């Protein structure tokens, strides 16, 4: 190696490392990451105590990684490299043609049994009928789309315990866009089939309006939805999803307890369509309690949904057939669900969970109070 | 701190290089000592005290050995003290819980488990400092009178936490007067990039396959095919992880003007188990040969003595790798094959066609990795039983795994041979000149992408 060439390589190495450091320092720190849907670590505060127990250096590493220049582009590059060498799994998400499907890991069966037990306990504690509704994940409904031999936990056995047959309702339409391609939720179409399953379970199958009944009421929609699987996988090259709003808002009163006080709300929170988290446009996302009343149907039953986020796309449909739909989130609502149901004259309780959430949830124990 | 982290690559390393090379020559050992202590304290700040203690004690013992050189009995006494101190340090921090748990199985014995976190690199630096006093006693190395230089040797961050085990005599001269050239820097940087790519791109990615196969064993879906795929994956993971780390250490050492010995020499090309151990983790095997096997008498005391010595050395080698029975078993497993090769079938092995020699060696080594990888001997036994026919041959999931990792496996196999090196040498000079920075850039960029992705932690409103 000649001296000049050695100097060139040396300079090149130093400029790469030092350059990124300089860039990191000059780049203003970001508050949060839209893509990752979380706040990013900030410069940690120094204390001798945190240095001694090792939490300070860990916080520095986290800060350094969280604020790294071009963070999202690096992950995109990694996904591209993985695709290039023949991988079809990206951070727990399978790339199946133009669709991302989340892999379901084998659950802790003890937890699953416990969760099923809590629901039985709820049914024993109250006079009101309790229905369990388990919503299969895309990996189950679209098993055929998964790469050949790709593993995902078999949900069939658990789904048989569901009182509402979402599996059949979705499987019958597996050829349609019942889940988003870049997000783990069901689409409005999927939620519509879910609605038919709920109605069937209540013996009200005859009342279901056909899809055409909604078609003339297509709300402003987004065709730029890049969901959770887009974020999780780093696969950034698929075209975005479309969000549709079918059920109409008129004649309904929506009350949200987002901040502990009842506030008037609506079925669709349009401001979310301008953010990354577009799915939260359905009912405005997470909240302890939300009540939808349909004044034109005074005697069609009052329903309490113990919700996860799948219910947000489903509730607008249910509001078309029930006098009242109450959505209660066990993460934020710490009171007794059974008492709430009795105090509000609820006719039926539905514990509605997607399988992925049900098998990992640790809040269902609250149902036993 | 580890080399394959964003903080090391883009904060610690550039700043350290800047401070080191801006400092005047005579201050550089001090700089090296301070940045190394910082590096060490990053993970467990409290353990800097162990490091400082270790420096002080071994430094003093070196001086004492030198001082009482005329009185051999006294000199030996001080060497002994240093060895005992280092072994106690290692024994307490690394083996206490293991010994306590096993001794408590005896009736009437009850020792508490302490659950102390293992100080990083303790297996490496205790061996290095032991070699110092012994080398001084044997006159293989001059005594180091400057405590800063000695401290720089003990803590030197390039090899501090994962080797290679650098004997004092290897770097003694460079510690006191070394030259820094642009060529050393450039070659060191290139070597560092190679090591980084081996660790981040090859080892980490094939490691995921091993995890999947181990999980399949737990779920009862392991097949013969995935069993062997898993062993291959682990064997490649540990080789590229460890040799990648050694490459980075050697490269960094060279940047700072030190020449460490090589630690790996294409071990998977070996044609016998004996040869494998001449090519694998060479700094450890040579340490044990020099400071244990030969002092025990080596192979000069007849067959029984030799057998005993081999068993002791391989018991220690296994146990050095971790405080668990499987490592002991792993060491003795190799002792068995080495003894067989030495006394039973050396002739037969020599007459075998080359292909079979390699096949036999790799089979022994990779089954060995199974023992190494699974601390729970029950799991290990069931896993290996599956590999040897106690499971269905094949499942659809194996096809998926094979497709997903085919390119990676191909890359691993090629990188385990000298093909790349030979091809590189055949290239014309100008092509290498262009390709070197291009490949370094590619390696650094792709590694950065993988490292950033590793820290990527989307909070998905998955839960709700």
| pLDDT cut 70: percent of chain A above it | 98
Per-residue confidence (pLDDT) for residue B122, from 0 to 100: 87
Q: Do B458 and A232 touch (CB under 8 A)?
A: yes
The predicted structure's pLDDT at residue A220 = 63
The residue range of the domain holding A33 is 3-69
Q: CB contact, 8 Å: B453 with chain A?
A: yes
Residue pLDDT, tens place only, A256-297: 998 888 999 999 998 999 988 899 999 998 889 999 999 998
Asked if B456's CB is within 8 angstroms of A12's CB, the reply is no
Residue A86 domain flag: no
Q: Where residue A219 falls among pLDDT bands split at 50, 70, 90?
A: low
Cα gap A355→A187, rounded to integer Å: 16
Q: Do A21 and B10 touch (CB under 8 A)?
A: yes
Helix (H, G, I), strand (E, B) or coil at A179: strand
CB contact under 8 A, A309 and B461: yes
Contacts of B462 in chain A (CB under 8 A): 184, 228, 356-357
Comparing CB atoms, the residue among A1, A36, A79 nearest residue B458 is A36
**pLDDT grade for A218, boundaries at 50, 70 and 90:** low
Tell me which chain A residue has its CA closest to the CA of residue B429: A1
CB interface of B with A, residues 425-444, below 8 Å:
433, 436-437, 440-441, 444
Answer yes or no: is A361 within a domain. Answer: yes
Q: Are residues A185 and A54 in the same domain?
A: no
**Per-window interface: B 29-48 vs A, CB < 8 A:** 42-46
- Residue contact A360–B437, C-beta within 8 A: no
Please report whether residue A81 resides in a domain. Answer: no
Which residues does chain A have within 8 Å of residue B120's beta carbon, measured at their own beta carbons?
A: none
A53-76 tens-digit pLDDT? 888 998 999 999 989 999 889 999
What is the pLDDT, as a whole number, of residue A216?
58
Tokens found for residue B34 = 């301070």
Residue-wise pLDDT tens digits, B167-192: 888 888 898 888 899 999 999 999 99
Is B61 designated active site? no
A123 and A218 in a single domain? The answer is yes
Cβ pair A85:B408 closer than 8 A: yes
Q: Does residue B118 sit at the A interface (CB-CB below 8 Å)?
A: no
The beta-carbon contacts of B176-181 under 8 Å, at least 24 apart in sequence, are B176/B146, B176/B149, B178/B257, B178/B258, B179/B257, B180/B21, B180/B256, B180/B257, B181/A6
Of the listed ranges A321-325, B95-99, B251-255, the least confidently predicted one is B95-99
**Does A111 lie in the same domain as A62?**
no
Residue A339 lies in a domain: yes
Mind telling me how many Å the CA of A364 is from chain B's nearest CA?
13
Please indicate, yes or no, whether residues A260 and A344 belong to a single structural domain of this protein.
yes
**Same domain for A148 and A266:** yes
Are A289 and A260 spatial neighbours (Cβ–Cβ below 8 Å)? no
Which residues of A fall within a CB distance of 8 Å from B45? 51-52, 54, 57
The Cα of B410 is separated from the nearest Cα of chain A by a number of Å equal to 10
For the stretch B24-35, pLDDT in tens is 988 999 999 999
Q: Residues of A with CB below 8 A from B455's CB?
A: 62, 65-66, 68
The per-residue pLDDT for range A266-275, each reduced to its tens digit, is 999 989 999 8
Interval A173-206: pLDDT, tens: 999 999 999 999 999 999 999 999 999 999 998 8
Q: Based on the structure, what is the number of domains in chain A?
A: 2
* Contact assignment for B458 to A357 by CB distance below 8 Å: no
Does residue A275 share a domain with residue A204?
Answer: yes
Number of Cβ within 10 Å of residue B178's Cβ equals 16
From the list B177, B281, B321, B358, the catalytic residue is: B321
Write down the pLDDT at residue B456: 63
pTM of the full structure: 0.89
Phi/psi for A106 (5° steps) reads -60, 125
In this structure, the answer to whether residues A225 and A175 fall within a common structural domain is yes
Q: Is the pLDDT of residue B460 over 60?
A: no
Q: What is residue B341's DSSP assignment?
A: I
Cα-Cα-Cα-Cα dihedral sign, residues A150, B450, B256, B155 = negative
The verdict on B211 touching A (C-beta cutoff 8 Å) is: no
Q: With the C-alpha atoms ordered A160, A166, A171, A172, is the resulting torsion angle positive or negative?
A: positive
Confidence of residue A211 (pLDDT cuts 50, 70, 90): confident
DSSP-assigned states of every residue in B84-120: HHHHHHHIIIIIHHHHHHHHTTSTT-------PPPPT
**Are A174 and A26 within one domain?**
no
Mean pLDDT of A11-35: 91
Determine the 3-state secondary structure of B463 from DSSP: coil
Interface of B with A in 395-424 (CB under 8 A): 395-401, 403-408, 411
Q: Do A13 and B401 touch (CB under 8 A)?
A: no
Instruction: Examine the pLDDT at A144 and tell me if it is beyond 80.
Output: yes
Instruction: Say yes or no: A31 and A173 in one domain.
Output: no
Q: Is B10 close to A17, i.e. CB distance below 8 A? A: yes
CA distance B15 to chain A (A): 8
Instruction: Flag whether pLDDT at B234 surpasses 90.
Output: yes
Same-domain pairing of A158 and A260: yes
Does any CB of chain A come closer than 8 Å to the CB of residue B18?
A: yes
Task: Give CA–CA dist B147/B52, Å, rounded.
Answer: 11
Considering only CB atoms, B449 lies closest to which of A13, A74, A356, namely A74
Residue contact A38–B186, C-beta within 8 A: no
Within-domain flag for A91 = no
CA distances from A107 to A21, A103, A361, B27 (A): 41, 12, 11, 57
Q: So what's the pLDDT on residue B461?
A: 43
> Distance from A22 to chain B by nearest Cα, in Å?
9
Size of interface A-B (CB pairs under 8 A): 180
User: For residues B406 and B400, what is the distance between their CA atoms, to the nearest angstrom?
Assistant: 10
B411 contacts in chain A (CB < 8 Å): 85
**Once rounded to an integer, what is the mean pLDDT over residues B199-222?**
90
What would the two tokens of residue A301 be? 């039953």
> Is A41 part of a structural domain of the chain?
yes
Mean pLDDT of B410-425: 93
Asked if the model's pLDDT at residue B463 lies above 60, the reply is no
pLDDT for residue A1: 79
Angle at B272 between CA B268 and CA B274, to 5 degrees: 100
Domain co-membership, A60 together with A179: no
How far is the alpha carbon of A232 from chain B, nearest alpha carbon, in Å? 6
A16–B449 C-beta distance less than 8 A: no
Nearest Cβ partner for B14 among A7, A18, A87? A18
Q: How many angstroms from the chain centroid is the CA of residue B8? A: 19
Residue A288: count of CB within 10 angstroms of its CB:
18
Q: What is the C-alpha separation between B151 and B37, in angstroms, rounded?
A: 9
Answer whether residue A24 is part of any domain: yes
């Amino acid at each position: 190696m000649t001296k000049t060439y050695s100097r060139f390589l040396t300079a090149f190495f130093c400029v790469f490392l030092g350059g990124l450091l300089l860039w990191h320092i000059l780049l203003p720190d970001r508050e949060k990451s839209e893509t990752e849907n979380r706040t990013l670590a900030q410069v940690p505060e120094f204390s001798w105590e945190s240095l001694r127990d090792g939490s300070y250096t860990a916080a520095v590493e986290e800060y350094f990684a969280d604020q790294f220049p071009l963070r999202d582009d690096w992950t995109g590059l990694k996904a591209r490299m993985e695709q290039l060498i023949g991988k079809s799994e990206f951070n727990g998400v399978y790339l199946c043609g133009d669709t991302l499907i989340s892999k379901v890991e084998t659950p802790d069966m003890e937890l699953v049994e416990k969760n099923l037990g809590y629901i039985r306990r709820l049914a024993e504690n109250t006079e009101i009928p309790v229905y369990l509704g388990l919503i299969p994940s895309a990996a189950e409904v679209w098993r055929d789309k998964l790469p050949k031999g790709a593993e995902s936990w078999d949900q069939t056995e658990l789904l048989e315990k569901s009182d509402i047959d979402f599996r059949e309702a979705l499987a019958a339409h597996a050829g349609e866009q019942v889940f988003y391609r870049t997000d783990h939720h069901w689409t409005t179409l999927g939620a519509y089939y879910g609605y038919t399953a709920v109605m069937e379970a209540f013996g009200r199958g005859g009342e279901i309006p056909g899809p055409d009944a909604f078609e003339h009421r297509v709300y402003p929609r987004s065709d730029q939805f890049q969901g959770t699987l887009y974020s999780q996988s780093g696969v950034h090259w698929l075209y975005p999803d479309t969000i549709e709003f079918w059920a109409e808002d008129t004649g309904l009163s929506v009350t949200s307890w987002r901040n502990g006080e009842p506030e008037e709300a609506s079925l669709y929170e349009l401001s979310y369509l301008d953010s990354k988290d577009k799915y939260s446009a359905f009912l405005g996302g997470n909240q302890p309690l939300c009540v939808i009343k349909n004044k034109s149907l005074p005697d069609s039953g009052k329903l309490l949904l113990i919700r996860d986020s799948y219910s947000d796309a489903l509730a607008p449909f249910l509001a078309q057939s029930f006098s009242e739909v109450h959505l209660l989130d066990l993460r934020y609502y710490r009171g007794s669900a059974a008492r709430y149901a009795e105090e509000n004259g609820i006719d039926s309780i539905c514990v509605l969970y997607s399988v992925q959430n049900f098998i990992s949830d640790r809040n269902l124990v609250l149902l036993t109070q | 701190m580890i080399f394959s982290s964003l903080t090391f690559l883009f904060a610690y390393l550039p700043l350290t290089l800047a401070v080191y090379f801006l400092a005047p020559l005579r201050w550089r050992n001090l700089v090296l000592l301070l940045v190394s202590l910082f590096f060490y304290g990053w993970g467990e700040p409290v353990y800097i005290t162990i490091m400082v203690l270790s420096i002080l004690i071994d430094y003093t013992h070196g001086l004492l050995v030198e001082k009482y050189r005329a009185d051999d009995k006294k000199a030996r006494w001080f060497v002994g003290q240093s060895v005992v101190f280092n072994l106690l340090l290692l024994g307490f921090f690394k083996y206490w819980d293991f010994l306590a748990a096993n001794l408590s199985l005896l009736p009437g014995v009850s020792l508490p488990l302490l659950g102390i976190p293992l100080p990083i690199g303790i297996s490496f630096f205790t061996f290095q400092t032991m070699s110092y006093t012994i080398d001084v006693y044997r006159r293989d190395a001059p005594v180091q009178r400057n405590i800063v230089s000695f401290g720089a040797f003990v803590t030197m961050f390039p090899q501090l936490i994962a080797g290679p085990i650098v004997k004092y005599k290897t770097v003694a001269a460079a510690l006191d007067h070394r030259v820094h050239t642009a060529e050393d820097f450039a070659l060191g940087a290139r070597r560092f990039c190679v090591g980084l790519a081996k660790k981040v791109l090859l080892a980490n990615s094939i490691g995921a396959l091993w995890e999947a196969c181990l999980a399949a064993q737990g779920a009862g879906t392991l097949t013969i095919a995935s069993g062997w795929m898993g062993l291959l994956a682990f064997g490649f993971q540990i080789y590229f992880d460890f040799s990648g780390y050694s490459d980075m250490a050697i490269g960094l050492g060279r940047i700072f003007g030190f020449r460490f010995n090589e630690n790996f020499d294409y071990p998977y090309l070996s044609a016998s188990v004996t040869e494998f151990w001449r090519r694998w983790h060479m700094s450890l095997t040579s340490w044990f040969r020099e400071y244990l096997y030969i002092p025990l008498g080596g192979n000069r005391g007849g067959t029984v003595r030799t057998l005993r010595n081999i068993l002791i050395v391989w018991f220690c080698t296994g146990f050095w790798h971790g405080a668990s029975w499987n490592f002991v078993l792993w060491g003795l497993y190799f002792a068995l094959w080495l003894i067989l090769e030495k006394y039973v079938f050396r002739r037969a092995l020599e007459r075998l066609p080359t292909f079979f020699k390699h096949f036999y060696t790799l089979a022994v080594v990779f089954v060995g990795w199974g023992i190494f990888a699974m601390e729970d001997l029950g799991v290990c036994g069931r896993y290996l039983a599956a590999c040897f026919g106690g499971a269905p041959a094949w499942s659809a999931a194996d096809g998926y795994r094979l497709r997903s990792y085919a390119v990676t496996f191909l890359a691993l196999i090629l990188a385990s041979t000298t093909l790349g090196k030979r091809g590189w040498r055949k290239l014309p000079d100008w092509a290498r000149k262009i390709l070197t920075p291009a490949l370094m850039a590619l390696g650094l960029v792709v590694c950065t992408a993988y490292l950033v992705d590793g820290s990527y932690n989307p909070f998905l409103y998955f839960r709700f």
